C-alpha cells in the first residue's frame, strides 16, 4: 500500500512536499502529475487532475492523498472525491471556507480524515496565533504581517486573484469579536520588524484568522498582507474579471508582475504575528525562502500527521487540528525555513537575523 500519493508533484509546492516526505523516510510514495518528477524510490504516475477516472486510479491503494495540484478554483473537490472513492485520507494544500464546505459534502467512508487549508496561508498563518496563545494565555490583541518579495507561480496567481469572501475581507479588522469592514487602510513605505526593506501593508482579514480569533477569545485583530514590489500591487489593483478566462488572464498578469519585482533580488516570505495581553507580548517570526516552499512544507507536515494517526476522523482546517507546538518545532527544522521562533522582543530578531536574508 502507498503511504502518501502526492498529486501535483512536479509543481513548486508538490516538489517541496515530495522531497520532504522522502527525507523523513515516509513511504512508499507515489508522485502524480502530467509529467511526473524523476525521483528515486518513488512510484511515478502520469495523471491529469481534470480527468476523474485517472484521479481514481491515482488514489487507489493510497493511505493518504496529498493534493498540491491546481488552480484550486478549477479543481474544487474533484481530488477529494477520488480520494474518498479510493478509501484514502485526504490533505489539500489549498483552502478555505468554500473548499471546506465542498469537501465536507463529499460522501466518504466512516473513519476517514480530510484536512484542507494546509498551506502557508491559510494554514501556517492560522497556526501561529494558536501557538502564541500557548505562550500567552491572556492574549487579547493580535497583529499579523505576512508577505515579502516573492514569486507567484501561475497556479498560485490564479487562486490569489480568484479569492472572494469565502477567504476574507479587504480592509476589515476584528473589534470586540466582530468583523468591522473598512476599519483599516493600506500603509505604504512602512517599516515592519524583521522585514529587510520598506513595504506596503494591505489590510486583509481572512476568514481563517477570524475563526481562530473567535476560538481564542481575542478582542482585536489587525492583519496585513505585505508587498515589497510596486508591480505586484499594480497588478492586483487592476482587478479581476468574474469569468474563468478573465481570472486566468489576471493570474498571468500577476505572475509576470512578481517576476519583474523579483528581478535581480532574492525571494523571501516572512510571517510576523504578535499577540498582546495583560502579562506581556509574544511574537512568532518565520523567515522562509518563499511561499511555495512554505506551503509545500506545511502540506507535508500535515500529511505526515494524518498518516501517523494524530488527526481524528472528520473534515478539518489544518490550523485548527494540528498541534501548534509540535508542528512549529518540526517546521523550524525544514530546509526552506531560515528562521522560526517565538520571541518576547521582536526588535531583537532584526539584530540576530541581519545577515540571513
Note the pLDDT tens digit of each residue in 17-58: 999 999 999 989 999 999 988 888 899 999 999 999 999 999
Q: What percent of the chain has pLDDT over 70?
A: 97
Q: What is the mean pLDDT of the chain?
A: 93
Preceding peptide of 45 cis, ω within 30°? no
Q: For 83-142, what is each residue's pLDDT tens digit?
A: 999 999 999 999 889 999 999 999 876 689 999 999 999 999 999 999 999 999 999 999
State the pLDDT at residue 244. Answer: 81
State the pLDDT at residue 350. Answer: 63
Q: Which fold has domain 2-119+294-330?
A: Rossmann fold (3.40.50)
Q: Which residue in 310, 8, 49, 114 sits closest to 18, CA to CA?
A: 8
In this prediction, residue 353 has a pLDDT band, given cuts at 50, 70 and 90, of very low
Paired sense of beta strands 2-7 and 113-116, if any: unpaired
Instruction: Give the whole-angstrom CA distance, residue 346 versus residue 351.
Output: 10
In this prediction, residue 352 has a pLDDT band, given cuts at 50, 70 and 90, of very low
Write down the domain spans for the chain: 2-119+294-330, 124-290+336-352
3-state secondary structure of 174: strand
In this prediction, residue 281 has a pLDDT band, given cuts at 50, 70 and 90, of very high
Neighbour tally for 34: CB within 10 Å? 13
Q: What percent of the chain has pLDDT over 90?
A: 82
Is the confidence at residue 287, as pLDDT, over 70? yes
What are the two backbone dihedrals, phi and then psi, of residue 183, each rounded to the nearest 5 degrees? -75, -25
In this prediction, residue 4 has a pLDDT band, given cuts at 50, 70 and 90, of very high
Instruction: Give the whole-angstrom CA distance, residue 299 versus residue 68.
Output: 8
State the pLDDT at residue 39. Answer: 82
What's the mean pLDDT in 163-188? 92
- Contact present, 115 and 306 (Cβ < 8 Å): yes
DSSP codes joined into one string, 116-168: E--BTTTBHHHHHHHHHHHH-TTEEEEEEEEEEE----HHHHHHHHT--TTTE
Q: Which residue in 96, 72, 42, 168 sits closest to 319, CA to CA?
A: 96
SS3 content of the chain, % helix, strand, coil (to 5): 40, 30, 35
What's the mean pLDDT in 317-346? 96
Neighbour tally for 223: CB within 10 Å? 27
Neighbour tally for 303: CB within 10 Å? 31
State the pLDDT at residue 294. Answer: 98
Full-model pTM: 0.94
State the pLDDT at residue 247. Answer: 87
Q: Which fold has domain 124-290+336-352?
A: Dihydrodipicolinate Reductase; domain 2 (3.30.360)
State the pLDDT at residue 355. Answer: 37
Amino acid at each position: 500500500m502507498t503511504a502518501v500519493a502526492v498529486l501535483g508533484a512536479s509543481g513548486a509546492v508538490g516538489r517541496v512536499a515530495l522531497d520532504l516526505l522522502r527525507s523523513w523516510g515516509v513511504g512508499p510514495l507515489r508522485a502524480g502529475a502530467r509529467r511526473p518528477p524523476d525521483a528515486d524510490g518513488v512510484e511515478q504516475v502520469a495523471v491529469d487532475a481534470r480527468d476523474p477516472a485517472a484521479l481514481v486510479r491515482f488514489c487507489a491503494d493510497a493511505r493518504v492523498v496529498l493534493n498540491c495540484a491546481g488552480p484550486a478554483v478549477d479543481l474544487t473537490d474533484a481530488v477529494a472525491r477520488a480520494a474518498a472513492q479510493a478509501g484514502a485520507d485526504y490533505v489539500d494544500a489549498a483552502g478555505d471556507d468554500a473548499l471546506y464546505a465542498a469537501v465536507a459534502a463529499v460522501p466518504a467512508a466512516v473513519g476517514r480524515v480530510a484536512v484542507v487549508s494546509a498551506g502557508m496561508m491559510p494554514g501556517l498563518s492560522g497556526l501561529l496565533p494558536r501557538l502564541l496563545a500557548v505562550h500567552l494565555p491572556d492574549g487579547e490583541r493580535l497583529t499579523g504581517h505576512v508577505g515579502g518579495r516573492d514569486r507567484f507561480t501561475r497556479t498560485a496567481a490564479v487562486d490569489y486573484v480568484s479569492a472572494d469572501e469565502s477567504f476574507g475581507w479587504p480592509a476589515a479588522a476584528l473589534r470586540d469579536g466582530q468583523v468591522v469592514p473598512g476599519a483599516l487602510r493600506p500603509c505604504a513605505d512602512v517599516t515592519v520588524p524583521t522585514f529587510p526593506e520598506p513595504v506596503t501593508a494591505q489590510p486583509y482579514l481572512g476568514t481563517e484568522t477570524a475563526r481562530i480569533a473567535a476560538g481564542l477569545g481575542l478582542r482585536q485583530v489587525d492583519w496585513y498582507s505585505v508587498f515589497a514590489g510596486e508591480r505586484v500591487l499594480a497588478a492586483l489593483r487592476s482587478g479581476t474579471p468574474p469569468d474563468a478566462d478573465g481570472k486566468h488572464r489576471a493570474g498571468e498578469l500577476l505572475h509576470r508582475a512578481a517576476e519583474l519585482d523579483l528581478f535581480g533580488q532574492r525571494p523571501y516570505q516572512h510571517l510576523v504575528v504578535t499577540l498582546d495581553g495583560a502579562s506581556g507580548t509574544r511574537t512568532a517570526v518565520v523567515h522562509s525562502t518563499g511561499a511555495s516552499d512554505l506551503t509545500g512544507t506545511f502540506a507535508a507536515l500535515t500529511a505526515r500527521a494524518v498518516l501517523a494517526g494524530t488527526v481524528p476522523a472528520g473534515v478539518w482546517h489544518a490550523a485548527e487540528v494540528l498541534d501548534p507546538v509540535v508542528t512549529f518545532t518540526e517546521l523550524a527544522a525544514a530546509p526552506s525555513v531560515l528562521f522560526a521562533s517565538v520571541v518576547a522582543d521582536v526588535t531583537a530578531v532584526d539584530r540576530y537575523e541581519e545577515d540571513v536574508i
